[in-house]
Amino acid sequence: MASLSSIGIALFSVVLVVPFAHRFKPDKWYAQGFSVLVLAFLASSLAAFAIRSFVFQPFSIPASSMVPTLEVGDYLFASKFAYGYSRHSVPFGLLPIEGRTFDTAPAPGDIAVFRRPSDPSTDYIKRIVGLPGDKIQMIDGINDHAVKLEETGSYSSDEIRSPKVQRETLQNGVSYSVLDVIDGSTGDNTQPVVVPAGRYFMLGDNRDSSADSRFDMGTIPYENLVGKGVRLFWNSRGVDYSSRHTLDGLTGK
Contact 226, 78 (CB under 8 A): yes
Q: Find the radius of gyration of the CA atoms of the chain.
A: 22
Is 135 one of the catalytic residues? no
Which of 5, 44, 64, 65 is the catalytic position?
Answer: 65
The rounded distance, in Å, linking the Cα atoms of 204 and 29 is 57
Contact 18, 250 (CB under 8 A): no
Centre a 10 Å sphere on the Cβ of residue 156 and count the other Cβ atoms it contains: 9
Q: Under the phi-then-psi rule, with left for phi > 0, alpha for psi from -120 to 50, and beta for the rest, what region is 109? A: left
The rounded distance, in Å, linking the Cα atoms of 75 and 68 is 14
Is 162 one of the catalytic residues? no
Which of 126, 175, 177, 228 is the catalytic position?
Answer: 126
Q: ω into residue 68 within 30 of 0, thus cis?
A: yes
Q: Which residues are catalytic?
A: 65, 126
